[in-house]
Amino acid sequence: MRPVAEVVDDARRERFESLAVTLIEPLRRYLARRADPTTADDVLAETLLVCWRRLEELPGDPLPWAYRVAANCLANARRGVRRQERLAAKVAVVDPPASVVPGPGDTEAPDLDAALAALRDEDAELLRLWAWEQLTPAEIAEVLDITPNAASIRLHRAREKLRAELGARKGDRPAGHEESDEGSRS
């Protein structure tokens, strides 16, 4: 008969494997949106290790919890990179990746990148979690360690701010571009 510890260990490994396969893809995407490929790989490995070590603490829906771990690991990685840059005067490597290059049909799309960049980091991150990770306010609350109520209110305000920024950018366009309908009506 095999020792009890070994059987327990196997069960734990199985449990982790079944959970991890559901976490890996969303985490890879989360990190790809926020870090260069090398850092994303490092932080993914680190995040999985934390999940493995704290397997017993994982909540029923582990993804928001895992995003939070990834966010912490990423913050530490960024800090490490800042230190390296200062010591070696290197070029930044933890820049967020460039957004998808607009195709030919996108030239009229409002300047989302600039509008997002104009928001406070906290607001932009809320919107990313909402639109890119497709999280609900309750899930966002768990990732950011705030109350669901606060997440709802902040998300609502962040959307309003983004709309205002997008509107302001539309307004900046050359005269006649947006107002052409009105002009032709009279």
Whole-number Å distance between alpha carbons of 173 and 168: 9
Question: Which CB, 65 or 141, lies closer to other proteins?
Answer: 65
CB-based contacts of 139: which residues, under 8 Å, 6+ apart?
A: 61, 63, 64, 129
Name the minimum Å distance from CB 186 to other proteins: 27
Q: Which listed range, 28-36, 136-144, 146-154, 172-180, lies at the site for other proteins (CB under 8 A)?
A: 28-36
Does 150 bind other proteins (CB under 8 A)? Our answer is no
**Which of 182, 122, 116 lies closest to 153 in space, CA to CA?**
122
Distance of CA 117 to the CA centre of its chain: 14
Q: Which listed range, 24-32, 136-144, 146-154, 172-180, lies at the site for other proteins (CB under 8 A)?
A: 24-32
The residue from 58, 66, 77, 141 that contacts other proteins (CB under 8 A) is 77
The residue from 58, 70, 73, 144 that contacts other proteins (CB under 8 A) is 73
Per CB under 8 A, contacts with other proteins among 83-142 are: 83, 86-87, 96-100, 106, 109-110, 112-113, 127-128, 130-132
Long-range contacts of 55-60 (CB under 8 A, 24+ apart): 55/12, 55/15, 55/16, 55/19, 58/19, 59/142
